[in-house]
Structure 1
């Protein structure tokens, strides 16, 4: 059986895109994208332990074809993976959130816009015809929280994602060295790196210096970098609790997903508070280096609570086979951040389409190999 390849065959893997991305963007931007926290232990553990999951093929079973289509919250998507929220996307490649939102819409997969990325709620909704999800960093003031949520509702986003795994910013030595901590600073080394990446620099000039597009209506004008850091620290409080979640549940009429879940306790609280889904996640290994890989709690949480709440996963998922491993372990759906950012950093405006097509092709091949006809059948192929 010959596989039809619908992507640039010079880059037939996510690792190829990562290698290309490293050559295309300044070191400070690549390290912001690529790194974890502290010593990168959890970053490495995420993918390594996920790839210990093994799947069983059934070659002689009658097979009627494999379909990637997956239903979630009453919507049928063309694949069981989506684009995770990523902050400051325009720093890594100019206009990248718009590139990815458009590609996600064209491929009929979810795109989650971060509060702190470089494209606005309204623009993402325009590009996706109201199908983009939105991920909320919790504001310290109720008025700001309510205004952001009202904007998300007006944009007709179907799903609100609330983030629970950033009670403090991760300790990221690379970002500190590169001046990308809070408050950020631009040093001579960064300027020289940008000069050495002319394509990135030209695109940045074309689209403008990246900013927190969703927050512009609330920010004082002409903040210097130190003032920006103070504004962000005063404006957002990442620690969630029942008192903060309840008003959001009362206000938001659509689906609510809690992202950053890594324990049975938090899963039980999400169910008790009437949330619709959780994303088992450790923020891509960027918050707690001493924590578990995502696949470890996912397996237990999905088995125990999968019939009471939609259980999804991100962090450590890099490829089509990784999606299959996660779903065989109990995830109903998966999300990836770095894989898509490598794609746009490597290939610019073609990167979103390329990466989605590559992942679909990889996952289709796995399903055909397993004799797995529907994505919901992946658990039947898990070797436990």
Structure 2
């Protein structure tokens, strides 16, 4: 498999280091940080890397394939690009760069409600293949209109977010003025001046905005009014009464993202979801929570034959994808890895990161003598 990537950056850690040098500190800390004391963001990574895989060398081996079916669609790898808010803050035009790369590499791209390109633009770039993640609006009218837009854009999968009943307490963002309402302090302005490439690209592409939400936002909002608008517009606390109308409206595949407990997995099955993404929001919501891969192991064991079980949070590399799939995930998603790539390498970051991850993952499969991605559980070291 001839996959090329920039050999100056042969790991996600290399991309992270480069990104830290290229973008303002407030943008990097928004991307890189968790909540409270960052305990769960580190637990996510530590726990997944404790998982060991068992190779089987003396056997017939016909070669490995990354191709993986999900919801009847065959993708070229068992990973996709997770939804990330405010992507254009970290690197200008980031969601469009990543959507294009995902389309060209035939992997899923999930657009967040609160990122910086619109449903329609993401769909145009991906020829109707991008998924859409819904932050639940407080008003039924707004909810219904956004869902109709996603349907008109031919999004095949609607992802409903359940793990943001409150905004995570993130000390870095508060210090940097990125809590709502945000502010641009003298300190932040000096950080921008120290990153001329980022500043120039921002000038070219314009100040990032919540593009999907633009039709619903009053014109001329100042920063304080924007914060009030966001607080009034979204109510992330879900229940059966809020989910049922979405299931009734949406004719495509429906996925619940942010599942961390067996109870919520049971509820998802009961309410007619087609899949779940086991996730703790990248360690950004509940610092005292369990790692995502620990939740995954229990949930996949009990419910993997009843619903498509996917995972994000703590997955950073090709070997991490293998570990997650060996633990029961049928598919994986990554957010930070791709944002490090774009922040480090700009328009080439999406293609580089996908190519790097494919190369890493194929090496693991060849080393294990694992021919198909669905065979990873056979290599889990008990």
Calculate the TM-score normalised by the size of structure 1. 0.99
Distance, in Å, in 2 between the alignment partners of 1:225 and 1:171 is 20
Q: How many residues align?
A: 382
- Which runs of structure 2 are paired with 1:233-252 in the superposition (5 Å)? 233-252=231-250
Residue 152 of structure 1 is matched in structure 2 by: 150
Distance, in Å, in 2 between the alignment partners of 1:226 and 1:208 is 20
1:54 aligned counterpart, secondary structure: coil
Residue 214 of structure 1 is matched in structure 2 by: 212
2:55 aligned with 1:57, yes or no? yes
Calculate the TM-score normalised by the size of structure 2. 0.99
Deviation at 1:360, TM superposition (A): 0.1
Deviation at 1:370, TM superposition (A): 0.2
Residue 112 of structure 2 is matched in structure 1 by: 114
Residue 38 of structure 2 is matched in structure 1 by: 40
1:256 aligned counterpart, secondary structure: strand
Residue 381 of structure 2 is matched in structure 1 by: 383
- Which runs of structure 2 are paired with 1:114-133 in the superposition (5 Å)? 114-133=112-131
Distance, in Å, in 2 between the alignment partners of 1:61 and 1:352 is 36
Residue 173 of structure 1 is matched in structure 2 by: 171
Distance, in Å, in 1 between the alignment partners of 2:164 and 2:331 is 22
Distance, in Å, in 2 between the alignment partners of 1:297 and 1:37 is 19
Deviation sequence 1:148-197 (CA, Å, 0-9, x none) = 00000000000000000000000000000000001111101010000000
Distance, in Å, in 1 between the alignment partners of 2:186 and 2:82 is 32
Alignment gaps of 5+ in structure 1: none
1:260 aligned counterpart, secondary structure: strand
Task: Select 1:343's aligned residue among 341, 344, 351.
Answer: 341
- Which runs of structure 2 are paired with 1:226-375 in the superposition (5 Å)? 226-375=224-373
Distance 1:75 1:201, change over 3 A: same
Deviation at 1:297, TM superposition (A): 1.1
Alignment gaps of 5+ in structure 2: none
Deviation at 1:238, TM superposition (A): 0.7
Distance, in Å, in 2 between the alignment partners of 1:194 and 1:308 is 49
Distance, in Å, in 2 between the alignment partners of 1:314 and 1:126 is 26
Distance, in Å, in 1 between the alignment partners of 2:307 and 2:176 is 40
